[in-house]
């Protein structure tokens, strides 16, 4: 059995900054981009050596603008990459040139170490270690092979039961004791990588979120060997998750003593099962079981550019937002406001079908009652905080003005589309700030303003789409339409054979209406 690290998986909150650091600054090869196998609507990136070999892979789930976590007890504290010992000076100079936070160099277990901090705050150690084996390194712009990252050197685990954690690794994952230094015991694998088990008794607890590691995955040659370990762990009564087919490898998960999440993954089939070696990482892959929704999922996943490509420079605006740019944009834009418990990406698949060549801007509401995103606070199931609606509408006005200026968006070719809570907020903002929105689609709206306004909406064009079977909100939608007409908007009313949910009929109605503009 070849023991060692297969990959380490972490979480990032800004995919573009992540790509710029790992593929750009560190020069790793982006070897796979895919929807997640637990959640296909979550982007999963793999970085590694020239062939995406086990033992070289760092993988990241993109939680765009997600809440930061906290490194602490029961977590991976640091990750380490192996570089040639003579290259530490090169990397120090490179960190200074690109203004990357760093500490050192210093010496640990007799090896030179330069600590870097990535854009999410993850500590990445560059360790001068001559580890043999593996595929050739990936040579990126400004980094020749003599200085390039070779593979994963190791990881540091924070545990309050260090002896039990170490015994677990030696018993089931093929590691052996190498050395001790202070509160750290170093274990080494047959592949030559290391796990530093740190006695973190008394540390603050870790918290999940971006900027932390999700798990360390260890290597096993094939599924037969994986099942041998699985049976042994079942006999031990460990917290086993069943064996999964991840397409590129088979794997299982277990919580080790100290509650750190480990994975055991097979070396094969490997990352070339759906791409050639030359084209690794060039196409977005969707898990096989989600192929029926592949196009919708691709629209929802965050876009990014490689380090040498043009990209959207996101402005610091009052609302979290995300762009989706089609291959052949026609200059039109649709701004999307999700419903209760939605996200900035929820309406993108629908909008892409309504107007395939439009640039999409998904926006996230800032009210987070009950842990879900909305556009304003509620006083009860059908009561709404009027002061908060007005306050958020002012912030949205600033957002729209900033968006138009920062991204050069043509207001005459921009439509705003809101669903349910997002539609309610959109129409309220239009009344508080006439002229802000020239074209709007309101799907399943209801009345949320306690008092009628006298806003002049004569410069706005609005489509109201009601669900025929929407028992709770249909009559309110009729009232919304009548009020918009009273305020002078150029209004159109459509009814679709649905309830409060959205469907193909909404796409057809909205597409026809937009085409009339």
pLDDT tens-digit map of 425-473: 999 999 999 999 999 999 999 999 999 999 999 999 999 999 999 998 9
pLDDT digits (tens, 9 = 90+) for 73-127: 999 999 999 999 999 999 999 999 999 999 999 999 999 999 999 999 999 999 9
> In this model, does residue 344 exceed pLDDT 90?
yes
Which residue shows structure tokens 């339409």? Answer: 481
Which residue shows structure tokens 């995300």? Answer: 322
Task: Provide, for the chain, the percentages of residues in helix, strand and coil under a 3-state DSSP scheme, each rounded to the nearest 5.
Answer: 25, 30, 40
Residue intervals of the chain classified under CATH 3.10.180.10 are 4-287
Average pLDDT over residues 237-244: 76
> In this model, does residue 10 exceed pLDDT 60?
yes
**Contact (Cβ atoms closer than 8 angstroms) between residue 74 and residue 216:** no
> In this model, does residue 234 exceed pLDDT 70?
yes
pLDDT digits (tens, 9 = 90+) for 351-404: 999 999 999 999 999 999 888 999 999 987 778 999 999 999 999 999 999 999
Q: What is the DSSP letter of 13?
A: S
Q: Determine the pLDDT at residue 215.
A: 97
**Contact (Cβ atoms closer than 8 angstroms) between residue 456 and residue 428:** no
> In this model, does residue 244 exceed pLDDT 80?
yes
Both tokens of 506, joined, read 């909404």
Q: Determine the pLDDT at residue 289.
A: 93
Q: Does domain 4-287 have CATH number 3.90.1200.10?
A: no
**Contact (Cβ atoms closer than 8 angstroms) between residue 156 and residue 184:** yes
Q: Determine the pLDDT at residue 131.
A: 84
Average pLDDT over residues 160-164: 98
Q: Determine the pLDDT at residue 145.
A: 92
> In this model, does residue 1 exceed pLDDT 60?
no
Q: How confident is the model at residue 194 (pLDDT cuts 50, 70, 90)?
A: very high
DSSP annotation string for 326-342 = -SS--S-EEEEE--TT-
**Contact (Cβ atoms closer than 8 angstroms) between residue 225 and residue 272:** no
Total-model pTM: 0.96
% residues pLDDT > 70 (the chain)? 99
Q: How confident is the model at residue 130 (pLDDT cuts 50, 70, 90)?
A: confident
Residue intervals of the chain classified under CATH 3.40.50.1820 are 316-515
Please state, in angstroms and rounded to a whole number, the distance separating the CA atoms of residues 469 and 472: 9
What are the helix (H) ranges across 15-140?
A: 15-19, 88-97
Question: The domain 316-515: what is its CATH number?
Answer: 3.40.50.1820
Please state, in angstroms and rounded to a whole number, the distance separating the CA atoms of residues 29 and 313: 23
| C-alpha distance from residue 28 to each of 160, 253, 290, 377 (Å) | 33, 26, 29, 45
Instruction: For residue 380, give every residue at least 6 positions away whose Cβ sits within 8 Å of its Cβ, in sequence order, or none.
Output: none
pLDDT digits (tens, 9 = 90+) for 274-286: 999 999 999 999 9
> In this model, does residue 52 exceed pLDDT 60?
yes
As a whole number of Å, the end-to-end CA separation of the chain is 66
Query: What's the half-sphere exposure (Cβ side, CA atoms, 13 Å) at 288?
Result: 6
Weakest-pLDDT range from 177-186, 187-196, 369-378: 369-378
| C-alpha distance from residue 34 to each of 144, 277, 435 (Å) | 28, 16, 41
Both tokens of 24, joined, read 């750009």
Q: What is the DSSP letter of 428?
A: H
Strands 176-181 and 184-188: antiparallel
Which residue shows structure tokens 């406001």? Answer: 337
The rounded mean pLDDT for the chain is 96
Average pLDDT over residues 216-244: 89
Please state, in angstroms and rounded to a whole number, the distance separating the CA atoms of residues 210 and 212: 6
Please state, in angstroms and rounded to a whole number, the distance separating the CA atoms of residues 131 and 250: 26
DSSP annotation string for 430-463 = HHHSTTS-SEEEEES-----SS------TT-EEE
pLDDT digits (tens, 9 = 90+) for 404-420: 999 999 999 999 999 99
Q: Determine the pLDDT at residue 380.
A: 75
- Residue 45, Cα to own-chain centre: how many angstroms? 9
> In this model, does residue 57 exceed pLDDT 70?
yes
């Amino acid at each position: 059995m070849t023991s060692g690290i297969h990959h380490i998986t972490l979480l990032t909150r800004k995919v573009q900054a992540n790509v710029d650091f790992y593929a750009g600054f560190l020069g790793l090869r982006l070897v796979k981009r895919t929807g997640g196998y637990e959640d296909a609507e979550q982007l999963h990136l793999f970085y590694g050596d020239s062939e995406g070999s086990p033992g070289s892979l760092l993988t990241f789930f993109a939680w765009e603008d997600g809440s930061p976590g906290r490194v602490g007890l029961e977590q991976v504290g640091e990750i380490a990459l192996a570089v040639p010992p003579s290259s530490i000076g090169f990397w120090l100079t490179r960190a200074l040139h690109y203004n990357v936070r760093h500490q050192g160099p210093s010496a640990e277990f007799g090896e030179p170490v330069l600590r870097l901090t990535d854009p999410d705050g993850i500590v990445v150690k560059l360790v001068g270690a001559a580890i043999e084996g593996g595929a050739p390194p990936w040579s990126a712009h400004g980094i020749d092979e003599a200085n390039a990252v070779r593979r994963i050197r190791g990881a540091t685990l924070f545990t309050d039961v260090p002896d039990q954690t170490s015994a677990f690794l030696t018993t089931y994952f093929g590691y052996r004791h190498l050395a001790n230094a202070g509160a750290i015991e170093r274990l080494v694998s047959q592949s030559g990588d290391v796990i530093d088990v740190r006695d973190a008794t008394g540390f603050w607890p870790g918290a999940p979120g971006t900027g932390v590691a999700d798990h360390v995955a260890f290597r096993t040659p094939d599924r037969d060997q994986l099942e041998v370990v699985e049976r042994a762990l079942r006999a031990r009564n460990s917290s086993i998750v069943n064996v999964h087919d991840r397409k590129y490898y088979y794997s299982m998960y277990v919580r080790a003593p100290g509650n750190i999440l480990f994975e055991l993954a097979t070396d094969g089939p490997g990352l070339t099962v759906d791409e050639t070696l030359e084209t690794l990482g060039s196409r977005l892959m969707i898990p096989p079981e989600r192929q029926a929704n592949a196009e919708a999922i691709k629209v929802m996943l965050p876009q990014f550019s490689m380090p040498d490509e043009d990209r959207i420079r996101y402005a610091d605006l009052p609302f979290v937002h995300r762009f989706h740019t089609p291959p052949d944009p026609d200059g039109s834009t649709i701004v999307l406001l999700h419903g209760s418990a939605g996200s900035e990406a929820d309406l993108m698949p629908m909008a892409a079908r309504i107007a395939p060549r439009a640039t999409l801007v998904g926006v996230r509401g800032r009210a987070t009652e009950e842990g879900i995103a909305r556009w304003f606070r509620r006083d009860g199931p059908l009561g709404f905080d009027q002061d908060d609606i007005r306050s958020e509408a002012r912030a949205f006005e600033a957002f729209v003005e900033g968006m138009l200026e920062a991204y050069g968006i043509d207001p005459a070719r921009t439509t705003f589309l809101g669903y349910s809570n997002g539609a309610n907020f959109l129409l309220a903002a239009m009344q508080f700030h006439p002229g802000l929105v020239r074209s709007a689609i309101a799907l399943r709206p209801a009345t949320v303003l306690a008092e009628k306004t006298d806003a002049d909406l004569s410069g706005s064009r609005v489509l109201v789409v009601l669900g025929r079977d929407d028992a709770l909100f249909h009559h309110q939608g009729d009232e919304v339409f009548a009020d918009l007409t009273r305020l002078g908007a150029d209004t159109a009313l459509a009814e679709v054979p649905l309830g409060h949910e959205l469907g193909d009929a909404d796409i057809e109605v909205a597409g026809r209406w937009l085409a009339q503009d």
